[in-house]
Structure 1
Amino acid sequence: MNYETQFVGDSAVAIDADDRRAGRKRLLLIGGGVAVVLVAVAAWISMRGGDAPAAAPAAQVPVVTVTSPGQSVVSRTVTATGSLGARVDMPVGVVGEGGMVARVLVQPGDWVRAGQVLAVIERSVQVEQVRSLAAQVEVARADAKLAQAQLDRAKALVGRGFISAADIDQRTATRDAANARVSVAIAQLAEQRARTGRLDIRAPASGLVLTRAVEPGQIVGSGSGVLFRMAKDGEMELLAQVAEGDLPTLRVGNSATVIPVGGKDQYAGRVWQVSPVVDPQTRQGIARIAVPYHAAIRPGGFAAVTITSGSGSAPLLPESAVQSDPKGSYVYVVNGKNMVERRDVTVGQVSDAGVAVTGGIAGTEKIVTSAGAFLTPGQKVKPELLKAR
């Protein structure tokens, strides 16, 4: 009994060990299968994940703001710079014989009328000469009066036979000579007075005194040069240096806006002369712009000017819509397929209202107003019309 029992127990132990080994094999096989499935799923997910970023941009269409500007009336303007000066610059010097300056009556910046005395020359000698000649006139008149009286008495006696006709002729000639001497004396007096008057340095016309180059005590004469400079009627002008290509567009009477350097104030003016020649070196011509007097308009100064040379119709775009590169200016147009096209344009006047486009577009197109730098030709977009303000 004991040997049988021991045998049966050993057999049961062996069977249990085999079952355990078989279970472990099944678990290993199941685990391997699950691992393979997991690897396959991970590979499939990774493949779908790699394709997604490439497809995403194709699905995202950028929204851009567009405008159809149409045609607007824009002013054609020409900008230039130049120097300021008197429209009619009048140099004033010594007209007479000159002498020592006794008094200077004006200063730069003074307004004077035509004929007003600017400086007085010492004239004591000339005054005495005038007095002498005035006395000679009185002497000549007295002689003429005496000659007339003698002639009248002679005529009264000629009928009685006391005076001959020859005596009458002689006395008549004497009277005429006396009257002629009166005329000569008067003319000499007037000449001397004119010479004395010319000693005064006078304004040739009304206007503004710009400079003064004479002081009391100074000896002046015909060779002393310019003693004063004046601007006739105070009128100023700008000598604008205009490019050769802009000269044909200017006309006498065109309005202009002048801004002196260093200031912000603007002054209205008008073109009164356009140069008929062009400087062969600078390829520029002169447009002379008349400007009314103002304290800020100083002759010799520098100023900028904008001349309105006319008006016309052109599309008006925001500055952000116009791009530029080495090839020139261009805009992006959205076509009927909502794709971006590059359109080369010619830019005209730039103002606060926008950029006038003089060529390349008609104004009926859909023009991208912003974000043009981030677009490329052929790119598909979603246009959104710019709302009027």
Structure 2
Amino acid sequence: MTSRQCGAAMILCCLMMASISARAADGPASGVLATTVATRSISVADLIEAYGTARSASSGTQTISVMEPGRVVRILASPGQAVVRGAPLLDWEQSPAARQAWEQARTGSVLAAQQRAHMVLLLTHHLGTRDQLDQADKALADAQAAVDALKRTGADQANRTISAPADGTVLTIPVSQGDRLAAGAALATIMSSGGIVVTVGVDPARRLQLRVGQTATIMPVAGGTPVAGRVLRFDAILNPRTRLVNTDLAVAPADVLPGADYTAQIAVGMLQGWRAPHDAVLQDAAGTYLFQSLGRKAARVPVKVLATRGNVDIVSGALSPSARIIVDGAYQLSDGADFREAAP
């Protein structure tokens, strides 16, 4: 090879190396490939989420009893049955001793009335005294008071049908046909139709945010249509079993099924924050954070998650409204790292 050819080869080699260097310089930019979204403020309802069960309110349950001894003749209803006011629950028969007490009181009243009438006649013929008439009046009043007291217990009815005092549902009938019971023994428990609540357990850390009358959205755990409710009352102590605060939500009786499980969202105010995709919000030993784009560099911003709505977090923090939030690829970044934004 001549010296001229050698020189040409060297020049060609240099040109090729320069071309390779130029291609490398013009190649892909360094940094993680990432997607971004605009930083936007958002206002949403502040919700307390809780779980619970539909049940009778403490003021909506009534225990039925008879204030005299007797026997259950026949049971006409069963637990879980819906009843209307006046619906028969069971037949009741007065005990012989109770019947005897009633007859004694009744005949005693009749006798006292006859004795008073006789005393009036004697006084008219000057054969009696005013004191004797006063004593007869007192005896009649006492006898009539005894009759009235027994009437209030139903003692004047040897046999009767015990009926539902209001529209509702039979919760319990703790007796059997033929049972002989003492006065005041429970015969049935009725849950009135207007006495149904959904009792949920609220995190004690959020109890101070509760107010009577706050609105709630209630959803059956098994699925179905959400129903509206409101806070009726809440406890001032923890439930010893669940370690939560029992909170009663008033609902329309037709909207819930006693004994069924429900979730509730109680609106306790409004939250102001930044809208961030859930994938953009990260966490490490230093706390919760996300990345915003400053030019082509990632800037770490500490945040606090206020609430989550689906795949979106509402966060607070010193975000720049003009910078974008880095989403996909954020987990590969560090503060000040370069990144490349993916094409939209």
Q: Same fold (TM over 0.5)?
A: yes
Distance 1:202 1:221, change over 3 A: farther
- Of 284, 302, 308, which aligns to 2:261? 302
Distance 1:215 1:256 in 2: 42
- The aligned counterpart of 1:257 is 217
* Deviations 1:79-124, CA, capped at 9 Å, x for gaps: 12234321126362544233210233444332454x8764332127
Specify the SS of the correspondent of 1:355.
strand
* Deviations 1:266-323, CA, capped at 9 Å, x for gaps: 2222223233234689764333323332364323x43222111111322223445434
Specify the SS of the correspondent of 2:254.
coil
Distance 1:244 1:186, change over 3 A: closer
Distance 1:217 1:200 in 2: 15
Distance 2:74 2:322 in 1: 75
- Of 111, 117, 122, which aligns to 1:150? 122
Specify the SS of the correspondent of 2:178.
coil
Whether the 8 Å contact between 2:31 and 2:337 is mirrored in structure 1 is no
Whether the 8 Å contact between 1:78 and 1:306 is mirrored in structure 2 is yes
CA RMSD, Structure 1 to Structure 2 (Å)? 4.0
- Of 218, 221, 234, which aligns to 1:274? 234
Does residue 316 of structure 1 match 2:288?
A: no
- The aligned counterpart of 2:139 is 181
Distance 1:240 1:382, change over 3 A: same
Whether the 8 Å contact between 2:30 and 2:338 is mirrored in structure 1 is no
Shift of 1:54: 6.3
Whether the 8 Å contact between 2:32 and 2:332 is mirrored in structure 1 is no
Identity %: 22
Counterpart mapping for 1:197-346 below 5 A = 197=155, 207-221=168-182, 226-278=186-238, 284-294=244-254, 296-299=256-259, 301-324=260-283, 327-335=286-294, 337-346=295-304
Specify the SS of the correspondent of 1:334.
strand
Whether the 8 Å contact between 2:34 and 2:327 is mirrored in structure 1 is no
Q: Which amino acid aligns with 1:218?
A: D
Whether the 8 Å contact between 1:86 and 1:236 is mirrored in structure 2 is yes
Specify the SS of the correspondent of 1:237.
strand
Distance 1:207 1:174 in 2: 55
Distance 1:66 1:188 in 2: 85
- Of 20, 44, 59, which aligns to 1:74? 44
- The aligned counterpart of 1:190 is 148
Distance 2:262 2:76 in 1: 32
- The aligned counterpart of 2:317 is 359
Distance 2:61 2:273 in 1: 46
Distance 1:281 1:38 in 2: 90
- The aligned counterpart of 1:162 is none
Distance 1:237 1:143, change over 3 A: same
Q: Which amino acid aligns with 1:87?
A: A
- The aligned counterpart of 1:10 is none
Shift of 1:44: 5.3
Whether the 8 Å contact between 1:98 and 1:121 is mirrored in structure 2 is no
Counterpart mapping for 1:35-46 below 5 A = 41=12, 45=16
Distance 1:358 1:236, change over 3 A: farther
Report which of the two has the higher share of helix. Answer: 1
Q: Which amino acid aligns with 1:351?
A: R
Specify the SS of the correspondent of 1:245.
helix
Does residue 141 of structure 1 match 2:113?
A: yes
Distance 1:63 1:185, change over 3 A: closer
Distance 1:135 1:248, change over 3 A: closer
Distance 1:383 1:219, change over 3 A: same
* Deviations 1:135-156, CA, capped at 9 Å, x for gaps: 44333323322321232233xx
- The aligned counterpart of 1:92 is 63
Distance 1:362 1:81, change over 3 A: farther
Specify the SS of the correspondent of 2:118.
helix
Shift of 1:357: 1.3
Specify the SS of the correspondent of 1:56.
coil
Whether the 8 Å contact between 2:31 and 2:338 is mirrored in structure 1 is no
Whether the 8 Å contact between 2:67 and 2:184 is mirrored in structure 1 is no
Counterpart mapping for 1:362-381 below 5 A = 363-368=321-326, 370=328, 372-373=330-331, 377-379=336-338, 381=340
Report which of the two has the higher share of strand. Answer: 2
- Of 51, 57, 70, which aligns to 2:28? 57
Q: Which amino acid aligns with 1:276?
A: A
Distance 2:297 2:267 in 1: 39
Whether the 8 Å contact between 2:70 and 2:183 is mirrored in structure 1 is no
Specify the SS of the correspondent of 1:315.
strand
Distance 2:74 2:180 in 1: 12
Q: Which amino acid aligns with 2:196?
A: M
Distance 2:254 2:136 in 1: 60
Kindly tell me the number of residue pairs found equivalent between the two proteins.
337
Distance 1:118 1:96 in 2: 17
Distance 1:54 1:68 in 2: 33
